[in-house]
Amino acid sequence: MKRSHVVALGAGLLFLFGCEQRLGDFTFLSSKNIDLSNLEMEADENAPIVEGEDSKPIIFVFSTGVPNLKEAVDRAIESGRGTALSDVSIYYTHWYIPYIVGENKFRVRGKVVR
């Protein structure tokens, strides 16, 4: 393989990489109104781990909006049919291929509390 092909391939792969940042970890998280006086939390090791995402694409150089963290939390809670999440991790991901396409995304992962 010619050296110019290797350099072009390496530069092309560089643009395909994105960045993911862990924004934080939370013991308990909810975006719903909860009556805490009636909430009985017990450590449930068998609680399902759920994920929720909200993303917005980048087309050419224009972002179509800003992803919403509340939407990502709502989707995670609703996917597990719960009222809140425990042992939660929040991530923000960004990737972009210049002048073509990209994406900004919030991802929420945690155990469902019912």
Residue 1 inside a domain? The answer is: no
42: in domain: no
In a domain, residue 97? The reply is yes
Three-state secondary structure of the chain: CCHHHHHHHHHHHHHHCEEEEEEEEEEEECCCCCCHHHCCCCCCCCCCEEEEEEEEEEECCEECCCCCHHHHHHHHHHHCCCCEEEEEEEEEEEEEECCCEEEEEEEEEEEEEC
What is the per-residue pLDDT for 18?
Answer: 72
Question: Is the C-alpha dihedral spanning 39, 40, 41, 45 positive or negative?
Answer: negative
Count of structural domains, the chain? 1
Extract the residue ranges of the chain whose pLDDT is less than 70: 1, 7-17, 39-43
Q: Classify residue 26: in a domain, yes or no.
A: yes
The pLDDT value recorded for residue 43 is 58
Residue 90 bridge partners (DSSP): 24, 108
Query: Does a structural domain hold residue 101?
Result: yes
Can you give the pTM of this predicted structure? 0.80
Give pLDDT, residue 90.
Answer: 98
Q: Residue written as tokens 């800003």? A: 66
Does residue 65 lie in a domain region? yes
Residue written as token pair 């013991």: 27
Q: Can you give the pLDDT at residue 78?
A: 95
Which domain does 98 fall in, by range? 19-30+47-113
Domain membership of residue 7 (yes or no) is no
Summarize pLDDT for 68-89 with one digit per residue, the tens. Answer: 999 999 999 999 998 899 999 9
| In-domain check, residue 3 | no
